[in-house]
Amino acid sequence: MQAIALENTVFEGANTVYLLGTDGNGPLTLVDVGFDDPDIRNQLVAGIEAAGYAVADVDQVLLTHYHGDHSGLAGWVQEQSGATVRIHEADAPVVTAAEAGSRELRAKQEAAFDAWGMPESKRTAVRTVLEEETALTAETPSVEPIADGETVKAGSFDLTAHHLPGHTTGHVGYLAADEGIFWSGDVLLPRYTPNVGGADVRLDGALAAYLESLERIVDIAPTVAWPGHRDPIEEPAARAREIIEHHRERTRRVLNVLREDGPADAWSVSHELFGELEAIHILHGPGEASAHLEHLAANGVVEHRDDGTYALAAASTGDPDLDEFFPVV
């Protein structure tokens, strides 16, 4: 396997994509591909050539999710090589730029801006970022869906797709069970906690879904995870537990905001959590706050009021037992 580091021109942090089959056994496979940007395209070509291959040799692309820093070059790689491109069916309509899928995503983002209480100036700014990301995909691929539990040959590995929603609706991780290796995309990262709620507004109950995905990683207990950004994770189950605890603590902070400031919308809660937001964080901050507020409302701790604000539930007294709606693993 060859890990290929790529720059990231839109989001902070370098991307890492993976070339499997460099020993000459099995289909030559890329796990994710990076943004469709000339410099990044050259870096991908150089990484493949360093392993002794050309882009034209790629047989297969396995995408973890639809975000442009993971899928943007899939169409170009497919055009150069004829490679099969696989992605979960829930993310396929966006990565292929199908009109209906793209229209649904944009409509849901605009509805979320309203629901969150986002100021108009910030809406204008984040629309520009989203348009710039879309413009970085010059060629879109034709794709074949991959389903949860499906096993596919990639190099010498037998990879099983694990549907792990939360960061996106159709996020998939790929597990080589015999070797204990897990290609985690953005469901598990070594330094940051993946955004939940803003990164894909199509998913209802995003935090609950993501917590279940983290529980599944703990159950799978891979030996090592190769993430979509930066360095390998040597204890994936431990990292999953850390992220669960991070969200437990963030939920406490959200509750404290409502206790101290009274009813608030997601934008106001986001400001208390993260301060002033710029660029893509204008989407991610209130999205994360909304995901936590939604999780609290679903469990009866807060109430979502007709004016779009959230307030402590009348029946809620003292600190709730978060173990009732957070996994204990």
- Average pLDDT for consecutive 10-residue bins of the chain (329 residues)? 88 86 95 93 97 98 95 95 97 76 87 97 94 74 96 98 98 98 97 95 96 97 96 97 96 94 97 95 97 96 95 74 79
Q: Backbone phi, then psi, for 135, in 5-degree steps?
A: -70, -15
How far lies 21's CA from each of 24, 136, 167, 266, in Å? 6, 28, 28, 46
User: For tokens 């600190």, what's the residue?
Assistant: 319
Strand order across the 157-163 sheet: 151-154, 157-163, 172-176, 181-185, 224-227
Check for a shared fold between 2-96+136-235 and 241-324. no
Q: Distance between CA 89 and CA 186 in Å, rounded? A: 17
pLDDT at residue 182, rounded to an integer: 98
pLDDT at residue 103, rounded to an integer: 80
CATH code of the domain occupying 2-96+136-235: 3.60.15.10
CA torsion sign for 67, 69, 72, 73 is negative
Tell me which amino acid residue 289 is: A
pLDDT at residue 139, rounded to an integer: 77
pLDDT at residue 285, rounded to an integer: 98
Tell me the domain boundaries of the chain. 2-96+136-235, 241-324
Q: Distance between CA 296 and CA 214 in Å, rounded? A: 18
Q: Backbone phi, then psi, for 7, in 5-degree steps?
A: -70, 165
Rounded to 5 degrees, what angle do the CA atoms 47, 172, 95 make?
70
Token output for 7: 């720059």
List CB contacts of 323: < 8 A, sequence separation 6 or more.
none
- Answer whether CATH 1.10.10.10 is correct for domain 241-324: yes
pTM equals 0.95
Token output for 258: 């409502």
